[in-house]
A and B are shown apart, each in its own frame.
Chain A
Amino acid sequence: MRKILIIGATSAIAEAAARIFATRGDALFLVARNAEHLRAVVADLNIRGAARTDSATLEVTDFAAHDAVIEKAERDLGGIDIALIAHGTLSDQARCEQSVDVMRREFDINALSTLALLTALANRMEARRSGTLAVISSVAGDRGRQSNYVYGAAKAAVSTFLGGLRQRLAKANVNVLTIKPGFVDTPMTAAIPDKGALWAQPEQIAAGIVKAIDRGRNIVYLPWFWRWIMLVIRHIPEPIFKRVKL
């Protein structure tokens, strides 16, 4: 039995991952915004076999509340073996371009709140000299594109931060996993019509995340083919890239 903290636990990918953990009999602590949704997920995981499931509500941009929630998770679980950070919003790029407030808010949710949570969790795991930090970043963070560069920049910040954290915590026996999903068919992306062949289901991504955690991986693209797609995209020279529509 492992003790697992999940932040953004009512997101489709996190919920699917939590089901895999629950089926294995792990103990879970779920954090999300909506208490009603949390209740539904907690009941489901307990039936599926979780050793226990506790929860707390949190607005991730309420930075002052982070510590208390992590404290409670640690207390209820009796220590945290794995923390999966999965919250996020798909930024409305057009609105971010028109409003600095909207842009900053998106950055708070998708970057700064994650970095703050990681800072607190990293120090605890470093002190205990064990644990896994698994964080959902995105392929969007691999290169800025006109269609979603605010979201992409926030995810780039997360990926880069995790790179540094991984080096720092390697000495302390703490594994840091950067998860880069491609297009996933979830409520977050429900507004996007015409989902083509590149789209994956949240259950597929969740299975990939659990496998990567089990194997102590560093960076994982999900599904795997995104590693090669992003390799190509990252290597398109800027003079050409600025003229393509992506």
Chain B
Amino acid sequence: MPAPGASWGRYPSATQHIIPLHWRDAELPAAAGTLLAYGNGRSYGDSCLNDGGTLLHTRGLNRFIGFDPATGTLRCEAGVLFSDILAFAVPRGWFLPVVPGTRYITVGGAIANDVHGKNHHRAGTFGEHVRCFEILRSDDSRLVCSREVNADLFAATVGGLGLTGVITWAELTLKAIPGPLMATETLRFGNLAEFFALSAQSEQEHEYTVAWIDCGGSGKTFGRGLFIRANHSPATQSIAPPLRLRMPFTPPLSLINRISLRALNAAYFHGSRQGRAVTRYEPYFFPLDAVADWNRIYGPRGFLQYQCVVAPAHAESAVAELLQRIAASGTGSFLAVLKVFSDRRAAGILSFPRAGTTLALDFPNRGAATLALLEQLDDTVVAAGGAVYPAKDARLKGARFRRYFPQWEQMLPHVDPRFSSGFWRRVMET
């Protein structure tokens, strides 16, 4: 668990008054300054921080409210973790319709960031599967929002970065699965063209697709990676749930650096088993959850994640240009993830996913050099008609944000006047 009031990238730092919420029927607590709901702190940058203001911790809102075993409709409080839902639902034959790369996020956070997963080409974003929720506003009004009722506030809250008030509960539709196992297949690709071919060819037959790409590749190995596709499996063999390790301390320096990166990436490429396998769902969807507090590996200065999407027409050239710019900067990313989004329209005004290819990268925080690189990556993304994911961001400037989200003004009437975040002030004021 991150320290209360920190984000997953551990950058930037912020000082906030923290007030835990415990009962969904309670009024908003009296607090000075601006407010922001804070779930489990898995946003990477400052979209979950509110320097100088108040954070309303929602993890105490963690009750199930109703479950219909015939339809898979689940109503629960907003601080319930995906891990809790999965622990409850999987043995009963249900699964979350969309999961990101960690199960340690809250339902409220999943809505506020309209999260996506490896099945975007089939299921779209999480918001598509949310039937309704309640928003508690700073004027103490409570509004139940759905696509039919308060539809504008629904669209502003899905992907709305917590700016429209506190989500107290939500109702979502789970999907039926045959069991806890996944049938996976891992394939190597030698370059980006092969990745796009594999992706196009896999989408029909596979519910989940994702690729890991070797950022350290150059020359003949440029653009190489591993493509992993999967389906839920009806297999019934018994596989033990994975053990959880913990990164017990924060090393004084980032353990991810220029030298270790090249070795780690090469080892991952050559060390990963190819071909078909059957695994439990946890290691397939949430490999990093196996090491609690893994973000400590980047040392006290933390890290910045950069996730962008580039439009389909420029996808291959833009991804190549991004990789070249990273290589030229002398840095790199161990966790480079590539995925083709479908053209499904997301439910939220500020939802990030859109038609194109998304690339996610982690960079140790090396100060000005890192920020300069991310500016350069933005140049490519702007030219490629893309966008950057606010949930991952800690440095985007306002002009770029407004370019990435041209519909941003539609949000303004719905932003609660008492609510704000570090991210929001930055992109509104710069």
Interface residues of A (CB under 8 A from B): 12, 36-37, 40-41, 43-44, 47-48, 187, 190, 195
Query: Closest 7 CB pairs between A and B?
Result: A44-B63, A47-B64, A44-B64, A47-B67, A187-B22, A40-B63, A36-B25
Can you list 10 A-B pairs, Cβ within 8 angstroms, ordered by A? Answer: A40-B23, A40-B25, A43-B64, A43-B65, A44-B63, A44-B64, A44-B65, A47-B66, A47-B88, A187-B20
Residue B24 interfacial (CB < 8 Å)? yes
Task: Please name the residue on chain B nearest to A44 by beta carbon.
Answer: B63
Contact residues of A: prevailing secondary structure: helix
Within 8 Å CB of A190, what residues of B?
Answer: 19-20
Q: Are B88 and A48 in contact (CB under 8 A)?
A: yes
User: Given A36-B25, A48-B88, are A43 and B20 also a contact pair (CB < 8 Å)?
Assistant: no
Q: Give the complex CA separation of A195 and B65 in angstroms.
A: 30
Mask: chain B, 55-94; 1 = CB below 8 Å from A; 0 = not = 0000010011111000000000000000000001000000
Partner of A12, one of B19, B22, B25, B64: B22
Interface size class of B (residues with CB under 8 A): 10 to 19
Task: Please name the residue on chain A nearest to B25 by beta carbon.
Answer: A36
Interface residues of B (CB under 8 A from A): 4, 19-20, 22-25, 60, 63-67, 88
Q: Give the complex CA separation of A195 and B3 in angstroms.
A: 10
Q: Give the complex CA separation of A5 and B31 in angstroms.
A: 37
Beyond the given pairs A40-B23, A48-B64, A190-B20, 16 more chain A to chain B contacts, judged by CB atoms under 8 angstroms and listed by A's residue number, are: A12-B22, A12-B60, A37-B23, A40-B63, A40-B65, A43-B63, A43-B64, A43-B65, A44-B63, A44-B64, A47-B64, A47-B65, A47-B66, A187-B22, A187-B60, A190-B19
Within 8 Å CB of A195, what residues of B?
Answer: 4
Q: Give the complex CA separation of A37 and B60 in angstroms.
A: 13
Give B89 Cβ to nearest chain A Cβ, in Å.
11
Give B41 Cβ to nearest chain A Cβ, in Å.
14
Task: Please name the residue on chain A nearest to B69 by beta carbon.
Answer: A47
Q: Give the complex CA separation of A44 and B24 in angstroms.
A: 13
Task: Please name the residue on chain A nearest to B20 by beta carbon.
Answer: A190
Q: Give the complex CA separation of A12 and B65 in angstroms.
A: 17
Give B388 Cβ to nearest chain A Cβ, in Å.
34
Q: Give the complex CA separation of A238 and B19 in angstroms.
A: 38
Give A246 Cβ to nearest chain B Cβ, in Å.
25
Give A236 Cβ to nearest chain B Cβ, in Å.
31
Give A228 Cβ to nearest chain B Cβ, in Å.
20
